Structure 1
Amino acid sequence: MTLKIAMWSGPRNISTAMMRSWENRKDTQVVDEPFYAYYLAQTNADHPMAKEVLASQSTDWQDVSEQLSKVKYQHNIFYQKHMTHHMLEDIDLTWTKKLTHCFLIRDPLCVINSYVKKMPSVSNDDIGIKRQLQLYKQITDITGQDIPIIDSKDVLLNPRGILSKLCETLGIAFDENMLSWPTGSRASDGVWAKHWYENVEASNSFAAYQKPLLKLTEQQRLLAQENDNDYQQLYQKRLLAD
């Protein structure tokens, strides 16, 4: 039986590098942000390549959720990269009961600092941190799982240690192939990769952690403060390497 792993992240949070890591396992198939087109169709958000995204995926959340939770896959692991802000509140989360969940978090100051390099403005809805905490609570209630949380900084400081601990928590063997991967694009990448994935496509492993140089306006710093309590609630529960 295929283990279906849903990794819940916000944007600008090594989520694509994490997808590369899992896809480099021979036993794993991945899917990239399957609810993106649904999110754009519902919100009319002004995103780069919106028309291409809408044409590339189903905009029906029920259709997408069935593909993620009910379809049988040949690989032992089906890894799903999800953005928390794509999960609008009208979605019935019952389908998540059939998946195994993980959460990938990052300090809101760093998220916003990275986000505004690609987008002209930023809001709570754009970065999905408040929604991430809501989803953590909701999915925990629905599934009864003790859902593991990993922080991006911890991963970059100790990829082997954190990924080993995550695999142990998920009941699967750690694979050395998760620590590096070939450079370049993937057929599994969303069509939006042309705008967002330049750094990941040039990478072949998790980058060594470097403290980011924060260049934020006062408004952006206030936004980070608004999200810090939500982030801290998740951060206190994060996995640590042995």
Structure 2
Amino acid sequence: MRLLAWSGPRNLSTAMMYAFAARPDFDVMDEPFYAAYLAATGLPHPMRDEILAGQPTDPADVAQLCQARPKAHVYQKHMAHHMSAGMPLGWAEGAVHLHLIRHPARVIASYGAKRDEITEDDIAFAAQATLYDRFGGIVVDTSDLRNNPEKMLRKICAECGLPWTDAMLRWPAGGHAADGVWARHWYGAVHRSTGFAGPEGPLPQVTRDDLLAAALPFYRALKARAI
């Protein structure tokens, strides 16, 4: 099985990758299209030069990598907006698709703590809706995952036809060998973790009402399909 996990940033996507990496029957990939996306767009992301040097920048080469399956299964963590730069999508046909969503107020607040300039493309709600419209798949609100990790992970495994293992609930602190080079900028909290964090508090106040208003319809449409 190729399990393609789509999300925007700051959405428990790395913790989910670690949960699947803890399974002995899974390999994992961390945002394989990131360098190709930066090369195509020219965007000044943090650690841009290191990312471009650390991954293939030709989308065709990345697509070929994403079709490989060294173990029985592979979990691929993808940012939905990486595909909005005209990347090929044929490689994703026939895979199982998992869409991780989070309330946009939380995404905006968390992402804004790491970057000063944020656009609608950065938080990827429209891009994720486009991918769902094309591929369908399993939708998981990560607030439900944090409220009850075992319950939600069991549901995901059942939807994928996978046996349950409680190994998914724990991982070693300090990161994973599959982490992208950008991990030292973005993954500090999850590197200190050994499992999913507890329930989130009240929604944060955000100063970007324009981003919130643009993202909410896409979030609500996907939320209505969540397991």
**Fold shared, TM-score > 0.5 on shorter chain:** yes
Going from structure 1 to structure 2, the CA distance change for 1:65 and 1:234 (only over 3 Å counts) comes to same
Question: Are 1:171 and 2:161 an aligned pair?
Answer: yes
Give the drift of 1:89: 4.8
Aligned to 1:42: 40
Aligned to 1:221: 209
Rounded to whole Å, the distance in 2 between the matches of 1:72 and 1:185 is: 22
- The residue type paired with residue 86 of structure 1 is H
Aligned to 1:4: 2
Aligned to 2:82: 86
Residue pairs, 1:176-195, within 5 angstroms: 176-195=166-185
Contact 2:2 2:69 survives alignment (8 Å): no
Going from structure 1 to structure 2, the CA distance change for 1:48 and 1:96 (only over 3 Å counts) comes to same
Going from structure 1 to structure 2, the CA distance change for 1:170 and 1:117 (only over 3 Å counts) comes to same
Q: Which runs of 5+ in 2 are unaligned?
A: none
Contact 1:93 1:139 survives alignment (8 Å): no
Secondary structure of 2:171's counterpart equals: coil
Rounded to whole Å, the distance in 2 between the matches of 1:174 and 1:103 is: 20
Contact 1:124 1:223 survives alignment (8 Å): yes
Residue pairs, 1:76-225, within 5 angstroms: 76-140=72-136, 147-212=137-202, 214-217=204-207, 220-225=208-213
RMSD (Å), alpha carbons? 1.2
CA offsets per residue over residues 15-47 of structure 1, 9 Å max, x none? 001111110111111010000001100111111
Give the TM-score of the pair, scaled to structure 2: 0.97
Fraction of identical pairs, as percent? 41
What stretches of structure 1 move > 4 A for 4+ residues in a row?
none
Secondary structure of 1:134's counterpart equals: helix
CA offsets per residue over residues 103-145 of structure 1, 9 Å max, x none? 10111111001000000011111000110001110123xxxxx
Give the TM-score of the pair, scaled to structure 1: 0.91
Rounded to whole Å, the distance in 2 between the matches of 1:232 and 1:72 is: 34
Q: Which runs of 5+ in 1 are unaligned?
A: 141-146
Give the drift of 1:221: 2.1
Give the drift of 1:77: 1.4
Give the drift of 1:229: 0.5
Rounded to whole Å, the distance in 1 between the matches of 2:159 and 2:85 is: 29
The total of aligned residue pairs comes to 227
Question: Are 1:25 and 2:23 an aligned pair?
Answer: yes
Give the drift of 1:93: 1.6
Give the drift of 1:215: 4.1
Contact 1:6 1:101 survives alignment (8 Å): yes
